[in-house]
Amino acid sequence: MILEVAVIVLFLFWAGTLAMFLAYIRGQRQVAAQQAQGDALRDQRIKDLAKRVDDYQNGTVRMGEAIHELRAVLAPLPDKLAQLEQRDPSSLSFAQAARLVGMGASVDELTQACGLTQAEAELMSKLHRGG
């Protein structure tokens, strides 16, 4: 009789242990599924951020190229302006034309007042107004 009770008690312990083990396994599966879902969200966010960084880098490269092109266009302008100022000393100086542009003179006013060509007046206006 004691042996039968001991077997029953051992069976109950084994059944309880098995039930706890199965519950633990189910819990671990749920934790693993939640972790996998969280990992997938994190990975997607990392991909999105990497794409944004790439877009910013590409934009920065394009901006640098545009600045380089602008420098190449603007670099010869001071020399050209100096040549224009020295070209015709009898006409009104380009320095005075620059002052007129600073006071708001239009391209037509520069051509009339200073005797500049249309292209020279446009150049002066762009140089001294910034656009």
3-state secondary structure string across the chain = CHHHHHHHHHHHHHHHHHHHHHHHHHHHHHHHHHHHHHHHHHHHHHHHHHHHHHHHHHHHHHHHHHHHHHHHHHCCHHHHHHHHHHHCCCCCCHHHHHHHHHCCCCHHHHHHHHCCCHHHHHHHHHHHHCC
Going by pLDDT thresholds of 50, 70 and 90, the confidence category of residue 130 is low
pLDDT for the residue numbered 111: 84
Q: What is the pLDDT of residues 89-108, one digit of tens each?
A: 555 567 777 888 888 888 88
